[in-house]
Chains A and B, each alone.
Chain A
Amino acid sequence: MEERNQGLSGGGVRRDTRALALRVITFLGGIYFFLYFITPESIIEGTKIKSAHEAISNGFIAVSSMAIGLGVINILMAHGSKFIFLKRGWQYSAALLLGLLIMIGSTLAHWMMTRHSASQIRDVQIIGDFAARIVEDAKLGAGNERSFSPTGVPELSKRVSALESYSLRIIEKIKAEESRVIKIAQGDLATTQLIRDSEQELLGLRESVSTLSANQWNTLDATNESALAQVSQRAAKVASSYAILKRKENGTKFSSRLYDFLYDGLFNHLGASMFALLGVYIAAAAYRAFRIQTFESGLMMAAALVVMLGQISFGKVIYEDMPSIRQWLLEVPNSAAFRAIRLGAGVAGLMLAIRMWLSIESAKSGGDKK
């Protein structure tokens, strides 16, 4: 009691407050999904929770994504301090931090490159989208609800003129990249053919766009609609080929090659090699540890033999129905045993989860009693 009444500088009050705050936050963190789960659909439909559920879930996903940053911060703190103060093993910390920085750097560069390409491809796709949108809006009539302007969308002729000038600007930009794009072919026939096809498609788009100014745009008649549809279709094809060429071009850039080297060349292969170590350990364990010493271990070994032989073509040479016996072993006794273990562990997990949610902690005093 006296401890509790110490001021804020005392340990007792602060500890109690902190513990209470943790319990409240833990409880609130779990209550939303629990209530969402147990509340019938018909009740949820009538509330605003249904529409907010997606946003709330995104909030939780954002919080869990922060854990990735937490790991990086932890590494920087733990190994950074080792490196800065030259503690024991600082060289390994330096190697770790260097690897971390190189990987982050190359991934960022690669990501920025792909985002930049995506925005360039989007610029081309907008041509087709805009052409299709002009047709839709013209059919809906002026002052339609999708218009951003209170007076409705701009008149048809202005929009078509804007489409034309924008398209020609983008076409010129793509043409200007031609010489750079040709280099990525590097003798590859498929890519060379792709470049030729995309040049043809670009010419076709330019032709379609140029014919727009030849028409009268007072109203959207059949001819005009057809012209815009053609622009939309050809723009989609140009965007598609442009996207493929952009991706091929990105593959030749340094940031992409570095990323490929670090990820495919180092990380993937090192990870697979480490996993392959298991083969050695299994071989060692097979010789040393897999001994038949009791009836149960003999039974286990027999089952293992049948399952292994049933999975390889050699098994059928020994006994025709080996795969079927293997199938039966997996479907019947194995399923029964695994279900039992999973059920038990699941129930235990449920009880522990309830305790965690309600912050029902073990007594700290008492110690070990037998």
Chain B
Amino acid sequence: MNGLEHATPAVIALLVAAFLLLFREFKRINKGFEHNIRRIPGVDAIEGAVGRCAEQGRAVSFTTALTDVGPVLYACLGVLRSIAKRVAQYKLKLLVPQYSPEAMAVVEDSVRDAYNEAGRSSLFDPESIMFLSSEQFAFASGYMGLLHREKPGAAFLFGSFAAESLVLSEAGQQVGARQVAASASPEQVAFFICTCDYTLIGEELFGASAYLSRDPIQVGTVAAQDRFKLIIVAIISVGVISATISNWFPELSWFKPLNLLSLGWEGK
């Protein structure tokens, strides 16, 4: 396939489909349509974990680890806002260690908004959002130290993780925190599965925010995602069938419908 410096007509069609699906779902939801988001055990556990902290009088920790400003951070912020509201309602201590200085400003705003929504703006402590380090393992050691000092009852690890994931989750294990992890990086999932109580895999991170808040915009986004994935599955199926046909019937090897995807405006 040729380089994708500029979109081919097929890619533009897919992008248009993405836009249309998104707006269609927003419109449907505004008209009162209710989507059913399947149960995600890890997300269900969030409320229980925060409740447990309220009973034990322990802090709640939420980290976005190595997440920079981007779609993944915004997905995490939805969950953080929901957790921060509950923490505010229960008057618990919230710890939000940060890696990225740019993301920190956005995170602080989100937590402040959550406290305001819960009607506890006076309880918001800006120092709860603390910048540890922009260096991966310096952040990890800062996080470990923080957890060992504060001994939170629940630790939420949402975002992009790299090699320090095991270090972070082990620290939570050592202090006896209930841990829920959601990683945008699939290679860290195995470590989280072994060390955390609940793990969200892949796009469940993006769905978690919608599941918790039931916000129309977020639910609509998840619905649009699923419908777009159907289109992708259809394209994959066409590709598999045509490749299988070409393999079984070499005389039909000219039949390559997926070449249309890479066909440029000039027809080549």
Chain A interface (Cβ within 8 Å of chain B)?
A: 36-42, 44, 67, 70-71, 74-75, 78, 271, 274-275, 277-278, 281-282, 284-285, 289-290, 300, 338, 340-345, 347-356, 360-370
Contact between chains at A41 and B217 (CB < 8 Å): no
Q: Is B123 an interface residue (CB 8 A)?
A: no
Contact between chains at B203 and A364 (CB < 8 Å): no
- Bound-state Cα–Cα, A275 to B139, Å: 12
Enumerate chain B residues within 8 angstroms of A275, measured Cβ to Cβ: 137, 163
Binary per-residue interface labels of chain B (135-169) against chain A in the complex, 1 for a CB within 8 Å, 0 otherwise = 10110110000000000000000000001101100
Beyond A281-B166, A285-B195, A289-B195, is A37–B71 a contact (Cβ under 8 Å)?
no
- Bound-state Cα–Cα, A10 to B71, Å: 33
Min CB distance A49 to B, Å, is 12
Which one of B78, B131, B167 contacts A78 once the chains associate, using CB atoms below 8 Å?
A: B131
Min CB distance A232 to B, Å, is 40
Contact between chains at A362 and B218 (CB < 8 Å): yes
Contact between chains at A71 and B163 (CB < 8 Å): no
Contact between chains at B232 and A343 (CB < 8 Å): yes
Contact between chains at B186 and A70 (CB < 8 Å): no
Per the CB 8 Å criterion, the residue count for chain B at the interface is 63
Contact between chains at A37 and B6 (CB < 8 Å): yes
Enumerate chain A residues within 8 angstroms of B138, measured Cβ to Cβ: 274
Q: Is B172 an interface residue (CB 8 A)?
A: no
Contact between chains at A347 and B229 (CB < 8 Å): yes
Contact between chains at B18 and A70 (CB < 8 Å): no
Which one of A41, A284, A361 contacts B5 once the chains associate, using CB atoms below 8 Å?
A: A41
Binary per-residue interface labels of chain B (228-247) against chain A in the complex, 1 for a CB within 8 Å, 0 otherwise = 11001000000000000000
- Bound-state Cα–Cα, A186 to B218, Å: 69
Enumerate chain B residues within 8 angstroms of A282, measured Cβ to Cβ: 166
Contact between chains at A348 and B203 (CB < 8 Å): yes
Most buried by B among A282, A289, A343, A361: A289
Min CB distance B219 to A, Å, is 10
Beyond A354-B18, A364-B117, is A347–B225 a contact (Cβ under 8 Å)?
yes
Contact between chains at A285 and B216 (CB < 8 Å): no
- Bound-state Cα–Cα, A59 to B141, Å: 36
Enumerate chain B residues within 8 angstroms of A369, measured Cβ to Cβ: 213-214
Which one of A343, A347, A354, A356 contacts B19 once the chains associate, using CB atoms below 8 Å?
A: A354
Enumerate chain A residues within 8 angstroms of B124, measured Cβ to Cβ: none
Contact between chains at B22 and A354 (CB < 8 Å): yes
B18 nearest CB neighbor, chain A only: A350
B144 nearest CB neighbor, chain A only: A277
Enumerate chain A residues within 8 angstroms of B22, measured Cβ to Cβ: 351, 354-355
Enumerate chain A residues within 8 angstroms of B95, measured Cβ to Cβ: none
Q: Is B15 an interface residue (CB 8 A)?
A: yes
Min CB distance B207 to A, Å, is 8
Contact between chains at B194 and A352 (CB < 8 Å): no
Contact between chains at B202 and A344 (CB < 8 Å): yes
Q: Decide if the interface of chain A is mainly helix, strand, loop or mixed.
A: helix
Q: List 23 A-B contacts (CB under 8 A).
A: A36-B6, A38-B12, A40-B6, A41-B6, A67-B101, A71-B134, A74-B131, A271-B137, A274-B138, A274-B141, A275-B137, A281-B167, A285-B195, A289-B195, A342-B186, A343-B229, A352-B221, A354-B18, A355-B221, A360-B26, A363-B216, A366-B213, A368-B214
- Bound-state Cα–Cα, A106 to B61, Å: 37
- Bound-state Cα–Cα, A78 to B104, Å: 12
B216 nearest CB neighbor, chain A only: A363
Min CB distance B106 to A, Å, is 11
Going nearest first, the 4 A-B pairs with the smallest beta carbon separation are: A274-B137, A352-B71, A348-B206, A344-B203
B5 nearest CB neighbor, chain A only: A41
B77 nearest CB neighbor, chain A only: A362
A304 nearest CB neighbor, chain B only: B190
Beyond A37-B7, A40-B6, is A351–B217 a contact (Cβ under 8 Å)?
no
Residues B95-116 near A (CB distance < 8 A): 101-102, 104, 113
Which one of B113, B170, B212 contacts A284 once the chains associate, using CB atoms below 8 Å?
A: B170
- Bound-state Cα–Cα, A198 to B7, Å: 55
Q: A44-B6, A352-B221 are in contact. List 18 more A-B contacts (CB 8 A).
A: A36-B6, A289-B173, A290-B194, A342-B202, A344-B229, A345-B202, A345-B206, A348-B71, A348-B205, A348-B225, A349-B206, A350-B18, A351-B22, A354-B18, A354-B19, A354-B22, A365-B117, A369-B213
B81 nearest CB neighbor, chain A only: A362
Contact between chains at A356 and B102 (CB < 8 Å): no
A369 nearest CB neighbor, chain B only: B214
Which one of A340, A361, A368 contacts B213 once the chains associate, using CB atoms below 8 Å?
A: A368
Enumerate chain B residues within 8 angstroms of A352, measured Cβ to Cβ: 71, 74-75, 206, 221
Enumerate chain A residues within 8 angstroms of B201, measured Cβ to Cβ: 341
Which one of A70, A351, A368 contacts B228 once the chains associate, using CB atoms below 8 Å?
A: A351
- Bound-state Cα–Cα, A41 to B8, Å: 10
B75 nearest CB neighbor, chain A only: A352
Q: Is B254 an interface residue (CB 8 A)?
A: no
Contact between chains at B167 and A277 (CB < 8 Å): yes
Q: Is B258 an interface residue (CB 8 A)?
A: no
Enumerate chain B residues within 8 angstroms of A366, measured Cβ to Cβ: 213, 215
